[in-house]
Amino acid sequence: MNEIVQLLIYGVVLGSILTMGAIGVSMIFGILRFAHFAHGDFMTLGAYIGLAFISAFGLSPWWALPSGMIGMAAVAVLIDKVLYQRIRRTQPVILLISSFGMALVIRAAVQLIWGSDNQSYAKGIQFPWRLDILGGLRIKPDHVWIVLIAFALVVAVHLFLTRTKMGKAMRAMSDNMDLALITGIPAERVITWTWVIGGGLAAAAGVFLGIDTRLYPVMGWTALLPVFAAAILGGIGRPYGAIAGGMVIGIAMEMSTLVIPAAYKPAVAFAIMVVMLVVRPQGLFKGTL
Amino acid sequence: MELSGFSAYLVSFLTFAGIYAVLALGLNMQWGFTGQFNIGVAGFFAVGAYTTAILTTPGSPAYLGGFGMPFLVGLGGAVITSSIIGVIIGLITARLRTDYLAIATIGIAEIIRLFLKNEDWLTNGVRGIPAVQRPFADTALDSPLTYLLVVALFVVGVYFLVERAYVSPWGRVLRAIRENEPASAAAGKDIARFRLQAFVVGSAIMGLGGGLYAHFFGFVSPEAFRPLYGTFLIWVMLIAGGSGNNRGAILGAVIVWGLWSGTEMLTGMLPSEYSTQAAALRVLLIGALLQVILVTRPEGILPEKAPRLIARRRDKQ
Domains of chain A: 2-122+140-279 (1.10.3470)
Mean pLDDT of the B278-300 span:
87
Rounded-to-integer distance, Cα A50 and Cα A54, Å: 6
CB contact under 8 A, B103 and A273: yes
Between B316 and B187, residue with greater pLDDT:
B187
Return the amino acid letter for B139: T
Mean pLDDT of chain B: 86
**The predicted structure's pLDDT at residue B14:** 93
Question: Dihedrals φ, ψ of A36, to 5°?
Answer: -85, 100
Distance CA A274, CA A265 (A): 15
CA dist A95 → A34, B98, B295 (Å):
7, 12, 10
Please tell me the least confidently modeled range out of A235-239, B53-57, B230-234.
A235-239
A270 to chain B: closest CA residue: B107
Cα distance between residue B101 and residue B112, in whole Å: 16
Check CB contact of B108 with chain A, cutoff 8 Å. yes
Residue A132: its pLDDT value, please?
65
Cβ–Cβ below 8 Å for A104 and B232: yes
Give me the pLDDT at residue B317, please: 46
Domain membership of residue B179 (yes or no) is yes
Nearest to B134 by CA among B77, B57, B204, B66: B57
Q: Within an 8 Å CB–CB cutoff, is residue B16 touching chain A?
A: no
CA distances from B18 to A253, B21, B76, B132 (A): 41, 5, 18, 19
pLDDT tens string B69-95: 888 888 999 999 999 999 998 888 777
Structural domain contains residue B267: no
The pLDDT assigned to B308 comes to 66
Check whether the bond before B66 is cis (ω within 30° of 0): yes
- What total of structural domains would you count in chain B? 1
- Identify the pLDDT of residue A287: 56
pLDDT tens-digit readout, B116-172: 888 888 878 778 888 777 777 777 777 888 889 999 999 999 999 999 999 899 999
Q: Residue A105 and residue B288: Cβ atoms within 8 Å?
A: yes
Amino acid at B121: W
Note whether residue B117 is domain-resident.
yes
Nearest CA in chain A to B117: A263
CA separation for the pair A52, B267 (Å, rounded): 27
Within a domain: B236: no
| DSSP H or E stretch at residue A139 | strand A137-139
Per-residue pLDDT, B297 = 86
- Calpha distance B26→A191 (Å, rounded): 36
Instruction: Indicate if ipTM > 0.95.
Output: no
Residue B235, chain A, CB below 8 Å: the answer is yes
pLDDT along chain A (289 residues), means of 10: 85 94 92 91 96 88 91 96 86 85 92 88 70 72 90 92 90 85 88 95 95 89 92 82 91 91 87 84 64
Taking the C-alpha atoms of residue B310 and residue B196, their distance in angstroms, rounded to an integer, is 24
pLDDT of residue B258: 92
What is the residue range of B44's domain? 8-226
What percent of chain B is predicted at pLDDT more than 90? 38
Greater confidence (B200 vs A178) lies with B200
Alpha carbon B62 to its chain centroid, in Å, reads: 28
Q: Which residues contact A223 (CB under 8 A, 6 or more apart)?
A: A17, A18, A21, A40, A43, A205, A209
* Residues of B with Cβ-Cβ distance to A104 under 8 angstroms: 227-228, 232, 283, 287
Q: Which residues of A touch B110 (CB under 8 A)?
A: 225, 266, 270
pLDDT classification of B211: cutoffs 50, 70, 90:
very high
A154 touches chain B (CB under 8 A): no
